[in-house]
């Protein structure tokens, strides 16, 4: 029997990268999966991959910055699969790479709305459903190594990822006695479309990889494995925590010539 047999997993930002890999892995482990995101074609492509594993999955078009969309996303999950056991709140954007004095209010608001408000809205409606069910559940929020440190030119992104860690701890405290666990995963740079946008040029890629003592970026599956583990009974005593997956990034400067 697979670890997730009979469980229902919701993955936001499941249209590509870490979200897509996690949605497919949940399905391989036996979960029925709801893929949420703004891009319909990409979301349906993720569902096709789930069906290719023999799993069950649906796509729900969702803008996590909109309360109506998030509420409907959770309601659709329950309507189709009967409940909600796991959630990976992964949807996020990097925003524009500019200094604080150059950043526009619109860009700041958009980054905050999706990364931070979106995570709060997902927690709000996911926890409402889990509490109503009266059974155990697990939620993982996607933060970042940028939740621990600052980074030049991405102040809004860093602010949101610091905020996600605060939300994670607070939510964990609120529902710990109800048997619901809330944790965060904190990756460094992962091989995703976001990384391609930020570090697509060879010199930029080489520079960024050099910041990781392992000398490479992470892989989406490496994050997906951690997320599924944190949702599983193997992590049953873990809540309010932040699991860093960073190739040594936060340990200190990479060795010379990395």
Tens-digit pLDDT profile for residues 107-154: 999 999 999 999 999 999 999 999 999 989 999 999 999 999 999 999
Angle at the Cα of 103 (from 39 to 166), degrees rounded to 5? Answer: 70
Q: What is the pLDDT of residue 257?
A: 66
Going from the C-alpha of 112 to that of each of 117, 151, 171, 172, 179, the distances in angstroms are 6, 16, 19, 21, 30
Distance CA 149, CA 196 (A): 22
* SS3 (DSSP) at 245: strand
Question: Taking the complete model, does pTM exceed 0.85, yes or no?
Answer: yes
Tens-level pLDDT at each residue, the chain (258 residues): 577 888 999 999 999 999 999 999 999 999 999 999 999 999 999 999 999 999 999 999 999 999 999 999 999 999 999 999 999 999 999 889 899 999 999 999 999 999 999 999 999 999 999 999 998 999 999 999 999 999 999 999 999 999 999 999 999 999 999 999 999 999 999 987 777 787 766 777 887 888 889 999 999 999 999 999 999 999 999 999 999 999 999 998 777 766
- DSSP state letter for 254: P
The pLDDT assigned to 168 comes to 98
For 158-180, write each residue's pLDDT tens digit. Answer: 999 999 999 999 999 999 999 99
Q: What distance in Å separates the CA atoms of residue 110 and residue 120, rounded to the nearest whole number? A: 15
Give the 3-state secondary structure of residue 17: helix
Give the residue numbers marked as catalytic.
157
For residue 101, what are its two tokens?
């004095």
3-state secondary structure of 151: coil
Q: Tell me the C-alpha distance between 2 and 18, whole Å.
A: 21
Q: Which two tokens stand for residue 241?
A: 């925590």
Which residues, 6+ apart, have CB-to-CB distance to 235 below 8 Å? 138, 181, 183, 229
pLDDT value of residue 54:
96
Fold of 8-190+219-247: Rossmann fold (3.40.50)
Q: DSSP letter string over 67-86?
A: HHHHHHHHHHHHHHHS---E
Q: What is the CA radius of gyration of the chain?
A: 18
Residue 258, pLDDT score = 65
- Three-state SS for 10? strand
Among 145, 130, 124, residue whose Cα is nearest residue 223: 145
Instruction: Give the chain's length.
Output: 258
């Amino acid at each position: 029997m697979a670890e997730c047999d009979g469980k229902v997993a919701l993955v936001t930002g499941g249209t590509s990268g870490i979200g897509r890999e996690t949605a497919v892995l949940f399905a391989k482990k036996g979960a029925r999966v709801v893929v949420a995101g703004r891009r319909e074609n990409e979301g349906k492509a993720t569902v096709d991959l789930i069906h290719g594993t023999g799993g069950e999955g649906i796509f729900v078009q969702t803008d996590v910055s909109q309360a109506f969309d998030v509420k409907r996303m959770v309601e659709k999950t329950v309507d189709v699969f009967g409940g909600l056991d796991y959630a990976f709140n992964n949807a996020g954007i990097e925003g524009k790479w500019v200094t604080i004095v150059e950043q526009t209010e619109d860009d700041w608001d958009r980054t905050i709305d999706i990364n931070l408000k979106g995570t709060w809205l997902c927690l709000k409606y996911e926890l409402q459903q889990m509490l109503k069910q009266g059974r155990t559940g697990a939620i993982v929020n996607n933060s970042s190594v940028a939740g621990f440190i600052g980074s030049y030119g991405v102040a809004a992104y860093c602010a949101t990822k610091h905020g996600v860690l605060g939300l994670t701890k607070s939510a964990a405290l609120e529902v710990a006695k109800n048997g619901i666990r809330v944790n965060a995963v904190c990756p460094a740079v992962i091989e995703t479309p976001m990384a391609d946008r930020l570090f697509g040029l060879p010199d930029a890629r080489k520079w960024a990889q050099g910041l990781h003592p392992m000398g490479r970026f992470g892989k989406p599956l490496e994050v997906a494995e951690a997320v599924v583990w944190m949702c599983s009974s193997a992590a049953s005593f873990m809540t309010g925590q932040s699991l860093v997956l960073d190739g040594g990034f936060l340990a200190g400067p990479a060795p010379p010539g990395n």
